[in-house]
Structure 1
Amino acid sequence: MSKVVINSHKEFEQFLGNRIGESDWILVDQDRINKFADATNDHQWIHVDVERAKEGPFGQTIAHGYLSVSLLPCLWEQIAKVNNLKMMVNYGMDKLKFGKPVLSGQSVRMVVDLQSIADLRGITKVELKFCLEIQGEKKHALDGIATFLYYFEA
């Protein structure tokens, strides 16, 4: 999948109201889930106890919702390369909804549209409407709006 290259506010504007792109599929396997559990000290059985989870509501372990959220930055980097920056700041997350659990062994990808863009005295504020799709499923794992501030070089 080819990345979109964005070098300026003006180049970002061309995507307003349109799809910027989608990432590659990424596997969410039990090893990834276990490492996330270790990193966050969230070892709830539904995520890490494979045997007990077989008797649970999903018939197997599921990824943490926040594991799914944590994949967004690396998936965004697969979609777009934003150049000529002094820095970029994560500004916020709005309307984040968890639609469907990601089962261990499923793959997900991010799809992004540019919902809004503003020039705040030389700082580019973008609102990216995203969804995290689950391969082979109609319902999304996540939907929301990520807001970033891009400080482009003059």
Structure 2
Amino acid sequence: MEVNPLELSEILRNKIALYEHLGIEVLTMGPHEVRFRVALEKNYNHKGTAFGGSLYATGVMAAYAMVLTGLHERKINTENIVISKGEIEYLRPVDTDFEIICRFPSIEEENAFYDELKDKGRVKAKLESQIVGLGPGRSLKASLIGTFVVRC
């Protein structure tokens, strides 16, 4: 079953209370890649830059959304997706709206992820979300690597 961006937004809004407060717009979503645009206005700190916790939360949410979309596409009946470990590297301050991009490194890794889940009823893998500033000089601002566990 395909999930469109509006359906994905509704699923996230209903499952993750924080989603609604982060100013996320789903740009693209699919089982291979998810892109969110995030409003700085909803996530700034005392310095006028994006709050580190917001960068972390939106990075995790993009990975969650990508896996959720893959589960729906493959008709795997679970939404049991959790992050067991996450590390974020803050490279530069984010002083504009920003984009979160999460993608599987390759189609082979994506297929292996879901094949292991089907075969073993559980999969654990690292996924990366990149945080990119949207102003002039668009550049990588932070990178989150999360270990996600999915169970059937």
TM-score normalised by L of structure 2: 0.58
Shift of 1:131: 0.8
1:90 alignment counterpart: 83
Deviations 1:28-52 (A, max 9, x none): 11x533xxxxxxxxxxxxx33xxxx
**1:3 corresponds to 2:2:** no
State whether residues 60 and 129 of structure 2, in contact with CA within 8 Å, keep that contact through their aligned partners in structure 1. no
Shift of 1:77: 5.3
Work out the CA distance in 2 between the residues paired with 1:149 and 1:4. Answer: 19
Structure 1: state its 5+ residue gaps: 6-19, 34-46, 54-60
2:104 alignment counterpart: 114
Higher relative contact order, chain-length normalized (CA < 8 Å, sep 6+): 1
State whether residues 88 and 148 of structure 1, in contact with CA within 8 Å, keep that contact through their aligned partners in structure 2. yes
**1:127 corresponds to 2:117:** no
Structure 1 letter corresponding to 2:38: I
Work out the CA distance in 2 between the residues paired with 1:78 and 1:149. Answer: 13
Residues 133 and 22 of structure 1, relative CA distance in 2, 3 Å threshold = farther
State whether residues 63 and 129 of structure 2, in contact with CA within 8 Å, keep that contact through their aligned partners in structure 1. no
Structure 2 letter corresponding to 1:25: R
Structure 2: state its 5+ residue gaps: 1-26
State whether residues 56 and 144 of structure 2, in contact with CA within 8 Å, keep that contact through their aligned partners in structure 1. no
TM-score normalised by L of structure 1: 0.57
Matches within 5 A, 1:31-110: 31-33=42-44, 47-48=45-46, 61-76=48-63, 79=66, 81=69, 82-83=71-72, 84-85=77-78, 87-94=80-87, 96-103=88-95, 106-110=96-100
1:27 alignment counterpart: 39
Work out the CA distance in 1 between the residues paired with 2:86 and 2:58. Answer: 14
When the two chains are superposed, the root-mean-square deviation of aligned CA atoms in Å is 2.7
State whether residues 131 and 141 of structure 2, in contact with CA within 8 Å, keep that contact through their aligned partners in structure 1. yes
- Matched residue count: 110
State whether residues 91 and 149 of structure 1, in contact with CA within 8 Å, keep that contact through their aligned partners in structure 2. yes
Residues 78 and 123 of structure 1, relative CA distance in 2, 3 Å threshold = closer
2:16 alignment counterpart: none
Structure 2 letter corresponding to 1:64: F
Shift of 1:113: 2.9
State whether residues 122 and 150 of structure 2, in contact with CA within 8 Å, keep that contact through their aligned partners in structure 1. yes
Which structure: greater helix fraction? 2
State whether residues 84 and 147 of structure 2, in contact with CA within 8 Å, keep that contact through their aligned partners in structure 1. yes
